[in-house]
Amino acid sequence: MKVSKFQNHDFKKIGLENLADIQFAGRVAKQILNTTQIEPNKILNSMRSVLENPELYVEDALYAQWAKYVIEKGLKDSLKQNTEVRQIPLEYQIYGRENIETGAITQMDNAMRLPISVAGALMPDAHHGYGLPIGGVLATQPNYVIPFAVGVDIACRMCLSVYDVPQNRLNDVPRLKKILEENTRFGLEGVFEKVLDDPIFERKEWKELTILRKLKDRAYRQIGSSGTGNHFVEFGILEITEFHQELKLPPGKYMALLSHSGSRGLGANIANHYSKIAQNECKFLPKDLIHLAWLDLNKTAGAEYWIAMNFAGEYASACHHHIHKRIAKALGEQPVTRIENHHNFAWKEHLADGTEVIVHRKGATPAGKGVLGVIPGSMTAKGYVVRGKGNASAIYSASHGAGRIMSRTYAINNITHAELKKHLDKHGVVLIGGGLDEAPMAYKNIDVIMQNQSDLVDILATFTPKVVRMAEPENPTWIKKKGEDIWGE
């Protein structure tokens, strides 16, 4: 017969406080241990799952007795959340460590100290952000989501449309500038006089969630527009050097349109609203971890956030499709293929060992095996169309761009307009809008970034920007007040 290895503190760790409850749980756990081959830790994990969702286990061969006790005593409602922050962070893989600032690594270390963290990885474009660093990938236990590990700009997205037209169409810069100026809008006040309708505004979520109901009018006005900071819409050359079935195009050079933006005010308000709730529920977290506060998906706020986050993702996608639809109409052409992907999002996935988790990719591109994505450089550097290799140590992820090497304030104070113009002229790029904070010199070398993640993605094609549209420069004092890294999170 097996000997029980359980102690009272084991059951306190899964959320029990009352001695009578602990003693009953101990008897159930001992019985399972002595009659099965299940390891003690797995028994404890299962008993925690029963605490969270006892209704699912009332007919379970092993845990029915415990489930009925949990329901009878109302333990689910009084479940004590695990609040013990790890002193030593879980180990995680860092790609391109030599080019990542210490602050970003410290932030990732902090994320890996959370009691709900399971696994993580840091992408080579990583830099300091809010809570989780931009370029951070964090897998948590399946019932927990961290709003600021998703990011403020929920579902920031890349969308690439490719046109089968002669490359020399890009030489007509005045016409392309006019098309971008007339068919794109940027920033808080950047809206169209005539808004294109969209099926998303008929969705039931607008009525079901209070926060969405309050934001519907604003979201309607902003549909098809782009944010500030590093968001852009640009014409360029897509070059394919060999045939890839996924692209459905023969080798050659194509005119293409690439856009980068997110869910606008809708996503930002969702993020800030639910992050405040999370921080209020996780007051036990130390000050340096408070922006990593989480929500329980089994509770009202967590369930609402999950619905709102996914809805913001669909809204972000709709925004891009409106942009590309307007520009395709102005060009008089229809794209022959389109590639798009989110970052700043959370997904329900499984790790290599089958563990169910919530994967947060803040400024990181999904790179599961065979998954297509777009990784841009700066406004003068090449971007890349990639196919994920499904690397488990990277949590099936890759970078979302080149990553900043200068903060926004530093770039504004140390790069001149003359230097920016010279750099643009050298690369043959025409810029509409854009500020010194987004100067190419403020970014890391995208080619180095791609070398650092050669184990994560295959390169299928390159995109070279030619005519770039961005928001008009923001006031530097506003940047300092609001925080340098909020754009693009």
For residue 374, the model assigns a pLDDT of 98
Q: H-type helices in 90-151, by residue range? A: 102-111, 147-150
**CATH code of domain 150-482:** 3.90.1860.10
Q: Quick: pLDDT tens for 17-37.
A: 788 999 999 999 999 999 998
CA 290 – CA 196 distance, rounded (Å) = 40
CA 359 – CA 348 distance, rounded (Å) = 6
Stretch 217-231: mean pLDDT? 94
For residue 478, the model assigns a pLDDT of 39
Exposure pattern of 207-246 as b/e (b: 16+ CB <10 Å)?
eebeebeebeeebbbbbbbbbbbbbbbbbbbbbbeeebee
Indicate whether 477 pLDDT > 80: no
Average model confidence (pLDDT) for the chain? 92
**Distance separating the N- and C-terminal Cα atoms of the chain:** 55
Indicate whether 3 pLDDT > 70: no
* pTM over 0.95, yes/no: no
For residue 486, the model assigns a pLDDT of 37
Exposure pattern of 451-486 as b/e (b: 16+ CB <10 Å)?
ebbeebbeebbbbbbbbbbbbebbeeeebeeeebbb
Question: Which of 147, 488, 152, 155 minimizes the C-alpha distance to 314?
Answer: 155
Parts of the chain belonging to CATH 3.90.1860.10: 150-482
For residue 433, the model assigns a pLDDT of 95
Stretch 466-470: mean pLDDT? 97
CA 20 – CA 14 distance, rounded (Å) = 15
Q: Which amino acid is at 275?
A: S
Asked if 195 and 224 count as a contact pair (C-beta separation under 8 A), the reply is yes
Question: Which of 39, 18, 20 minimizes the C-alpha distance to 29?
Answer: 39
Asked if 240 and 247 count as a contact pair (C-beta separation under 8 A), the reply is yes
Q: Quick: pLDDT tens for 342-359.
A: 999 999 999 999 999 999
User: Any idea what the Cα angle at residue 262 is, between residues 443 and 462, rounded to 5°?
Assistant: 50
CA 46 – CA 56 distance, rounded (Å) = 12
Asked if 390 and 373 count as a contact pair (C-beta separation under 8 A), the reply is no
For residue 256, the model assigns a pLDDT of 97
CA 294 – CA 281 distance, rounded (Å) = 8
